[in-house]
Amino acid sequence: MTGSDTRVVSVQRLNQGPGDRSLAEWWADERKDQTPESKAIEEAAQILRSSDVPVAFPTETVYGLGADATRSVAVQGIYRTKQRPSDNPLIVHVDSLEMLDRLLNPENPSSPSATKTARASIPAIYKPLIDRFWPGPLTIILPNPSGSQLAPEVTSNLTTFGARMPSFPLARLLIHATNRPLAAPSANASTKPSPTTAQHVYHDLHGRIGLVLDGGPSGVGVESTVVDGLCGTPAILRPGGIGIEELRQCAGWENVTLAYNDGTFDVKEIPRAPGMKYRHYSPKARVVLFEAGSSPAGVARHVQRDLHDTAIHAHNIGIVRTRHWKQGLDLAPDSVLAKSLQPVDAAIENLFSFPLPVQETGSPNRRTKLAYDYHLGSDTVSIAHGLFAALRAIDECDVDVIYVEGISDKDGDLAAAVMNRLRKAAGAEMKA
């Protein structure tokens, strides 16, 4: 497959959702009218049912790379496309509680009495969460039943699987049209920043997949929260779009604990949820994360040292700002900055570049390096929404190092999710 084989098809009109109609009624109307969007969804569904090549599609969190969760050859296509370790389990996306019920109660044709046994149900601990947060950015860990329909590659041979029902209507419509549960990790090359636009997907995976459904930018910007209610004390395995304080308002989840370690990449056992074991969300450039409250002047001195040290290889640099760093990080005087600051791309409002004359240690000559400055905004929602896009945009400028202004985990649940992603991108956190 060559890059030209990867098509990006707009289905953004479907973002408006079904209105008062059910998914089945909505899909029937679209097919009856033979809309361009229905043809794109039908093509995607056919690929998902019969091919081992995944399809990229939008959700409210990030873009997902979907495959039929019941076929091993299809799920293997996800690992192959992303170049993802096979011991990293996948989340199963469903369009309804009825589809989830079918996964929990697989039919066994060889046993006529199977249908007479008690049907498995979603554990009661999850009912308050489902009532409040589904459809939405929440993944729950469930027992994988005997005779499971799921391909073993989905669970990495665990006895459990993660399931979620996306709130993005277009995602549920695709699952409904396919009539299969979809395994769908983020649609990026493994370890890279998650994609929040169809263009991000194309950048990472063109030539590896055939079809990207373009539903516009994702809304949340970070992946779903993963929770485990099957253990003695309910736990959060991955922070995301639903926070700990929101969970604690639900019956049975008042004492929910955190069961992830942002700074650990050497977990030996199979992870219980995606994102627990391996380094994630990293651009090509090295990421240096400064914790909240770091002195901007101290950060600027650290950057200046890197720029002058030939061993660091900081030729061009990126700066991702949130709440307290000034534009340019005082690396150049305001008067110089005012004259030299240039927009990098008209389509990216917050990204600017400016030159930095530097005399490297041990060199008699001064050389001009470039700095790229991206302001995410000061509110947590804007920071979460733009985080992955900022890392990708600066990385496209061929920088060597990206310096990021962190925010406090105590600024809310979404802030904790942002810092979780940044720590995994950087591998470490600094204080200046």
Q: What are the pLDDT digits (tens) for 196-222?
A: 999 999 999 999 999 999 999 998 888
Pick out the residues of the known binding site for L-threonine. 61, 93, 164, 184, 224
CA distances for 255 relative to 18, 135, 229, 245, 412, angstroms = 37, 23, 11, 10, 17
Q: Which residues, 6+ apart, have CB-to-CB distance to 158 below 8 Å?
A: 89, 144, 270, 272
Cβ within 8 Å of residue 392, ≥6 positions away: 193, 195, 200, 203, 283
In this prediction, residue 346 carries a pLDDT of 84
Quick: pLDDT tens for 383-415. 999 999 999 999 999 999 999 999 998 888 888
Alpha helices in 1-126 (DSSP H): 23-33, 36-50, 72-82, 97-104
pTM for this one?
A: 0.83
CA 112 vs. chain centroid, Å, equals 43
pLDDT at 3: 43
Q: What is the dihedral sign for C-alpha 432, 341, 391, 420?
A: positive
> Distance from first CA to last CA of the chain, Å, rounded?
48
Write down the pLDDT at residue 259: 86
Pairing status of strand 257-258 against strand 235-238: parallel
Query: Where does CATH 3.90.870.10 sit in the chain?
Result: 3-223
- The architecture that CATH gives domain 3-223 is Alpha-Beta Complex (3.90)
pLDDT computed for residue 278 by the predictor: 46
CA distance 260 to 238: 6
The yes/no answer on whether domain 286-430 falls in CATH 3.40.50.11030 is yes
pLDDT score, position 39: 97
Residue ranges of the binding site for ATP: 84, 88, 160, 186, 194, 238, 281
Residue range(s) occupied by CATH 3.40.50.11030 in the chain: 286-430
State whether residue 118 is helix, strand or coil. Answer: coil
Residues 6+ apart with CB under 8 A from 254: 248
Q: Nearest CA to 55 among 19, 9, 114?
A: 9
Tell me: pLDDT of 277 over 50.
Answer: no
Peptide bond into 54 cis (omega under 30): no
Q: Which residues does the annotation place in the binding site?
A: 61, 84, 88, 93, 160, 164, 184, 186, 194, 224, 238, 281
